[in-house]
Amino acid sequence: MNEGKIVAICLAPSGASKLVQVEAVRAVPERGLEGDRYFEGKGSFPTKPDASREVTFIEKESLDAVARESGIQMELGDSRRNVVTEGVPLNHLVDKEFSFGEVTFRGIRLCEPCDHMEKLSGKAGAREALRHRGGLRAAIVSEGVIRVGDPFGRE
């Protein structure tokens, strides 16, 4: 049995602003996470509707591995991903439906780290350290609220 769960939810009001942690957020199909930069049309990248920008996930285990292997200490929001999970193999969820709490998501593609993330995090070497473990881009399939602690489910 998978014991995966959400350990943090991070939002940024605009493209370059620092991510802040919240305890819960409404997920809206074709919009994203309420209060986040892409929901508001204020993201750093093209703001036309794009399912792969609705929500991003990263494994806490990846951030822990980066610290262990490279010495780069990344805070939960430094990766610029919205949802930090634990106990969930995200790379296996491309083209799959899954849920956290009451919300269903569909994995779109892997979310490889970029220069923008490294620059905004201020963590030199973070892009390379997170290569192939930078998380998952996903579409929101069903509207609802996700919360820190919500369990992972597979559709």
Provide, rounded to the nearest whole percent, the portion of the chain with pLDDT above 70.
86
| Per-residue pLDDT tens digits for 97-129 | 999 999 999 999 998 876 666 676 667 777 777
State yes or no: pLDDT of 74 exceeds 80.
Answer: yes
Provide, rounded to the nearest whole percent, the portion of the chain with pLDDT above 90.
52
Threshold 0.85, pTM exceeds: yes
Range of the domain at 32: 5-154
Q: What's the pLDDT at 3? A: 84
Residue with tokens 């892409």: 38
- Total structural domains in the chain? 1
Q: What does pLDDT average to over the chain?
A: 86
CATH number at residue 98: 2.40.33.20
| Per-residue pLDDT tens digits for 16-44 | 778 899 999 999 999 999 999 878 776 65
